[in-house]
């Protein structure tokens, strides 16, 4: 009996499950693929299976238990379109984070990767791919907190801790943790086009479908201070980027002297007031370059640079490129 077209299986996506796995690494990608089906009406787009060693519930790092759809043994001989490998970490008594790669999981990943069209790691899942030898001679990323570990343990891997995801031929690696959505959207774009991926991004209420080269670091993700005063300063900067912010302005808003203000930024944010303001303006300009057709003059004014020359100099200092080059590389179609 021939299957009806709507009942035919789609691209098989296998997500590897194991105890201690990061919950969002597992649940984020299927949500993207489900929204794709809703947006396009294509019920055959992807078939997603959670695979584990047994059919017993798997306890994630968040304490939430997940039920596998299948076992690794049941997948034997079946072709896999996309193998998604999430990760897990442990934290020592001093609060240091270390990625884990259990030998049994590594062995299963290596076996499945041999019959997958492409392989993708989510967050610290890159450590599992590296242990399986799948990243040797490739450029890869992971969560910034374990990038040093990845580079030290696997010198054959070219580790780049900055991008939110990297594609090196058939192997993709993503940063953490919410970057799993960006990685999944990139997989959708690779399969169905940028337009479809952007429609899914809107359903996720994501500000922007971020391009691969965008940094996983940004001004809003700067280390949060325990000082309420410093947080108030950061919000003041964000609200007043179009003005001519100065150290005197910031000091007045925080009711401190200019020298004390400089010490606050250096101690709690690891930078100077001027450098922080410039980074915030560059971040805003990046978003406008990626998502609008506004001229450089208009972006310079809207972001507080006031002149195009100032905007260009700031981009060269912080990103080692020009606004035009950045837009040409990372512009997302509307």
C-alpha span between 7 and 128 (Å, rounded)? 34
Domain identity same for 155 and 244: no
Domain identity same for 33 and 154: yes
CATH number of the CATH domain containing 244:
1.10.10.60
Does residue 214 fall inside a structural domain?
no
Pick the last residue of a domain from 173, 203, 233.
Answer: 203
The boundaries of the domain holding residue 145 are: 5-203
User: What's residue 207's pLDDT?
Assistant: 41
Domain identity same for 89 and 153: yes
Does residue 209 fall inside a structural domain?
no
- Whether this prediction's pTM lies above 0.85 is answered by no
Domain identity same for 68 and 171: yes
Domain identity same for 199 and 225: no
User: What's residue 213's pLDDT?
Assistant: 52
Domain identity same for 143 and 241: no
Domain identity same for 163 and 311: no
Domain identity same for 37 and 105: yes
Overall domain count for the chain: 2
Domain identity same for 15 and 109: yes
In a structure prediction context, what are the per-residue pLDDT tens digits for the chain, which is 334 residues long?
233 334 445 799 999 999 999 999 999 999 999 999 988 888 789 999 999 999 999 999 999 999 999 999 999 989 999 999 999 999 887 778 899 999 999 999 999 999 999 999 999 999 999 999 999 999 999 998 899 999 999 999 999 887 888 999 999 999 876 788 889 999 999 999 888 887 888 787 654 445 555 555 555 545 544 577 888 888 899 889 988 899 999 999 999 999 999 999 988 888 899 999 998 999 899 888 888 889 999 999 999 999 999 999 999 888 778 999 888 876 655 4
Domain identity same for 229 and 267: yes
Domain identity same for 14 and 156: yes
Distance of CA 234 to the CA centre of its chain: 23
| Cα distances (angstroms) measured from residue 130 to each of 88, 119, 176 | 14, 12, 16
Does residue 134 fall inside a structural domain?
yes
Domain identity same for 25 and 112: yes
CATH number of the CATH domain containing 24:
3.40.50.880
């Amino acid at each position: 009996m021939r299957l009806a077209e709507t009942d035919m299986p789609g691209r098989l996506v296998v997500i590897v499950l194991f105890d201690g796995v990061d919950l969002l690494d597992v649940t984020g990608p299927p949500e993207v693929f489900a929204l794709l089906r809703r947006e396009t009406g294509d019920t055959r787009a992807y078939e997603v299976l959670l695979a584990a060693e047994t059919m017993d519930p798997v306890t994630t790092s968040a304490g939430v238990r997940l039920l596998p759809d299948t076992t690794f043994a049941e997948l034997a001989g079946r072709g896999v379109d996309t193998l998604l490998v999430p990760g897990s970490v442990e934290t020592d008594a001093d609060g240091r984070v270390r990625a884990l790669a259990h030998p049994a999981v590594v062995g299963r990943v290596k076996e499945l990767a041999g019959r997958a069209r492409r392989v993708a790691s989510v967050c610290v899942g890159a450590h599992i791919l590296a242990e399986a030898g799948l990243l040797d001679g490739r450029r890869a990323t992971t969560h910034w907190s374990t990038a040093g570990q990845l580079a030290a343990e696997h010198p054959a891997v070219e580790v780049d801790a900055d991008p939110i995801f990297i594609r090196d031929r058939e192997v993709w690696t993503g940063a953490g943790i919410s970057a799993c959505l960006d990685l999944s959207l990139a997989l959708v774009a690779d399969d169905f086009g940028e337009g479809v991926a952007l429609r899914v991004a809107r359903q996720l209420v994501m500000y922007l479908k971020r391009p691969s080269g965008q940094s996983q670091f940004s001004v809003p993700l700067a280390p949060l201070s325990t000082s309420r005063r410093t947080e108030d300063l950061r919000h003041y900067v964000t609200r007043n980027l179009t003005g001519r912010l100065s150290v005197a302005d910031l000091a007045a808003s925080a009711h401190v002297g200019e020298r004390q203000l400089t010490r606050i930024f250096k101690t709690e944010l690891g930078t100077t007031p001027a450098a922080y303001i410039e980074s915030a303006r560059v971040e805003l300009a990046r978003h406008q370059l990626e998502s609008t057709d506004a001229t450089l003059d208009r972006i310079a004014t809207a972001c507080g640079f006031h002149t195009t020359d100032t905007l260009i100099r700031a981009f060269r200092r912080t990103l080692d490129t020009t606004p035009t080059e950045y837009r040409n590389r990372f512009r997302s179609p509307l």
